Structure 1
Amino acid sequence: MDHRAHHSSTAQDHAAHQAGGHGRHTHGVASWGTAARATLHCLTGCAIGEILGMVIGTALLWGNVPTMVLAITLAFIFGYSFTLLAVIRAGLDFKSAIKVALAADTVSIAVMELVDNGIIALTPGAMDAHLSDALFWTALLGGFAVAFFITTPVNKWMIGRGKGHAVVHAYH
């Protein structure tokens, strides 16, 4: 291979890696530790948003559906914001940072929210529990724990294919 072709190929791989994690450097087997850290990062933002939404909806005596909608919306907002702020701090412009956050966190947040809210909805009495009830907090925190264990393998699979949180690693 001539030097110019190699240089062009390397530059293209680097550009693809920077633009969305699709370069050759991001593919491979992701470790369980990497997947767990990515899941914990995502879960932290989700938990803050979801707890805030559940507390607000419950305190305002909203019904189950509006409370869950608020909690899920805030979970996505807080979940994305953690990644968004990190990549902006790393020097990315706002528009590009939004693209990275969406690519990095959408599947992870969606799986977490589906599992967590499914557990809350299926736990008898949890949706009608008050903030002072142990059942409210047990269902909510138990849902987070189960969501973590279900989402970690999903993140491991995605990172190993250069998707999900793998796109963020170009900016750390």
Structure 2
Amino acid sequence: MDEGQHGSTWSMAASATLHCLTGCAIGEVLGMVLGTAFGLHNAATVVLSIVLAFFFGYALTMRGVLKGGLGFKAALKVALAADTVSIAVMEIVDNAVIVVVPGAMDAGLASPLFWGSLVFSLLVAFVVTVPVNKWMIGRGLGHAVIHGHH
């Protein structure tokens, strides 16, 4: 399939990625804040952040398609098809960035390093994920499956 057939543009890919980033960021930030506040081990904090990022990412997509009239089971299938790859790429990238920034995982909630590395990791994840979403949308995958359900 050619990319134009599904309307795959950089603008559409950026929009889809921004949508995904919203859910991921909510979960990622909440997971990092909770893990840090409760003194969880770094690995547990990363796992919590990933789980919450997937939860909120899927929840935001489901919210939109449920409003479009789909039932819960169908909406869940659409969310899984639309967001899984995008969220996975985003989570791999942003958590890898946070882990490699010296001291970021051990910085406290009041530390600029904590917040700065979190924002930086999400920006890097966005930049890396846009081309992934463009490629997927161009093939009728990812966020392309949502367009008929809004």
TM-score in terms of structure 2 length: 0.95
Gaps of 5+ in 2: none
**Per-residue deviation at 1:27?**
3.9
Structure 2: distance between partners of 1:107 and 1:34: 16
What residue in structure 1 maps to residue 40 of structure 2? 62
Alpha-carbon offset, residue 108 of structure 1: 0.3
Larger Rg: 1
* Equivalent in 129, 142, 147 of residue 120 of structure 2: 142
Q: Deviations over 1:26-48 (max 9, x none)?
A: 94450111000000000000000
Q: Which runs of 4+ in 1 moved over 6 A?
A: none
Of 68, 72, 80, 1:102 maps to 80
Match of 1:161 among 129, 134, 139: 139
Give deviations 1:146-165, integer Å, cap 9, x for gaps.
11011001000000100000
* Equivalent residues of 2:6, 2:144 under 8 A apart: no
Cα pair 2:78 2:146 within 8 Å, conserved: yes
> 1:27, 1:159 within 8 Å by CA — same for their partners in 2?
no
Question: Percent identity of the aligned residues?
Answer: 62
TM-score w.r.t. length of structure 1: 0.83
The residue that corresponds to 1:113 in the other structure is 91
- CA RMSD, 1 decimal: 1.1
Question: Which string of whole-angstrom CA distances, capped at 9 and with x for unpartnered residues, describes residues 80-133 of structure 1?
Answer: 000011000000011110000000000000000000000000111111111111
How many angstroms does 1:171 deviate by?
1.0
Aligned to 1:47: 25
Q: Unaligned stretches of 5+ in structure 1?
A: 1-25
Number of aligned residue pairs: give it: 147
Counterpart AA for 1:168:
I
